[in-house]
Structure 1
């Protein structure tokens, strides 16, 4: 009887470990605090708006960014091994979305905080509507963004609406 109970306990422990391994971690974005949060790359204040993005590391640290281009720059500089999840916001609702599930509208002429020209959407139809409304742009997925050139539109930066990383300002 004791032998059977031992096997049962070992089997139960193995099943629990397997379930825990399959469950994975649940990462959640943190709220933006405009009074204290600054971009992890450019150190500018982050507005609680549709352009804010963030990475939650596997150890639970939240790294916040004022523009999706800054998020990408962090990944380029630090790699992706420590990333638990990446979040962007739906342009219309400002709700947090998983980076890999969002749709993106891109055009160098779109005004974004750091002039990367990328706007995120929960629904493909909303991204397409934004592109049509702007009269220019390209629909992209997260996979397509992985091969994107990620250049800042310097002309947009010079228009006075935006401030470069070195200026310490933020788009309005």
Structure 2
């Protein structure tokens, strides 16, 4: 009976630790984009999805992440993350970010799309580089077609 108890505890611990729902660091220059299959090298435009079961999908740009979700059960997604343009490699909650589409800031897939954690930063870049600001919802609507 004691052995069965130990196996049960071990199984529960294994289950607990195997369902970790959190981002993974992107290995720039090695990881590939789930959508376009390009190697992820741009440290200010990468993105990531984490499912409710903890599976991580990495993308070389936010536009790839959005396009990938068109054929994905989005009810399974726990986190949408984009790199913060002002802090290379830092992933931020894409659903709370402000996005700038500016022809003066190229992104890997040509959508000229950058994510900002702070709306004030996005407005500063918009004043300098031009373009239009979007919320997550308005961005999804723009990419719907």
Same fold per superposition (TM over 0.5)? yes
Give the SS at the match of 1:37: coil
Gaps of 5+ in 1: 1-24, 152-172
Which of 54, 60, 67 pairs up with 1:66? Answer: 60
Q: What is the match of residue 88 of structure 1?
A: 82
CA distance in 2, matches of 1:150, 1:32: 26
Q: Deviations over 1:27-73 (max 9, x none)?
A: 32111112431000111101260101000011111100001110011
Report how far residue 87 of structure 1 moved: 0.5
Mapped partners of 2:69, 2:33: distance in 1: 14
CA distance in 2, matches of 1:70, 1:97: 16
Q: Does 1:114 align with 2:137?
A: no
Secondary structure of residue in 2 paired with 1:77: coil
Say if 1:86 and 1:26 are closer, same or farther in 2 by CA, change over 3 A: farther
Length, aligned pairs only: 126
Larger radius of gyration: 1
Aligned position for 1:138: 132
Q: Which ranges of structure 2 fall in alignment gaps of 5 or more residues?
A: 1-18
- Whole-Å separation in 1 of the counterparts to 2:72 and 2:78: 14
> How far does residue 108 in structure 1 lie from its aligned partner after superposition?
4.7
CA contact (8 A) 2:20 2:53 kept: no
Compute the TM-score of the two structures, normalised by the length of structure 2.
0.79
**Aligned mates of 2:69, 2:21 — CA distance in 1:** 17
Deviation at 1:100, TM superposition (A): 0.8
Is 2:85 aligned against 1:97?
A: no
- CA–CA distance in structure 1, aligned partners of residues 29 and 131 of structure 2: 33
Task: Please provide the CA RMSD for this pair.
Answer: 2.0
Give 1:111 deviation, angstroms: 0.7
Q: Distance in 2 between matches of 1:27 and 1:98?
A: 14
- Is 1:125 matched up with 2:126? no
